[in-house]
Amino acid sequence: MEKSVGVRGAYLLFSREEEIELQERYSKEDIEILFFGEDSLQASFDSFIEIILNEEMLRAIIAGLTVEILKELIFKAASSIKNKKIIKFESADKISPATITIKASTKKGTIYQNIQNDISDKNFYESINKIKEAKILLDSNKKDGINDLFIVENSVGNFEIMTLKEYIEYRKKSEENDQ
């Protein structure tokens, strides 16, 4: 299997020329990059802009082989969100900047991580370490079925790995605090 990355919501972020430039850059690293348009299906937990990693790409990231090229893509996408002022409507009275979700699939489940548009180098590398931890947790899980893990940045700036149930509770508390 080839390493690949998909970008859902790319039509909002990149011009056709920028997509071609990214494809050429990724091709040099033997990575296929795909851009999904408006009509692509999605099922993300909090974002309409996703960076989707296949298992080979995730393995390469964990081995440290493709971390920098992923960083380039994330920072370019975050910059585009800021510059183009891309927003999401969370409710009738709440509008916020769009965010990026990293979605990494494995045989044992899926890892989701929401990336803020003002991500620093330090937070990027911490998030990569949490993705590695989440992959280890999934790989060591003896349960059958699909298991999803969510990586969130808590109120003090630390990253936490949560199960779906924990994540739902976290979101409920966050929404209550926002009201």
pLDDT tens column, 5-47: 999 888 889 999 999 999 999 999 999 999 987 665 554 556 6
Number of CB atoms found within 10 A of residue 130's CB? 20
Encode 27-39: b = buried (16+ Cβ within 10 Å), e = exposed.
eeeebebebbeee
How do residues 77-130 score in pLDDT, each as one tens digit?
999 988 888 877 766 677 777 888 999 988 888 999 988 888 889 989 999 999
| The Cα angle at residue 27 between residues 22 and 28, in degrees rounded to 5 | 105
Q: Look at residue 162 and give its three-state secondary structure.
A: strand
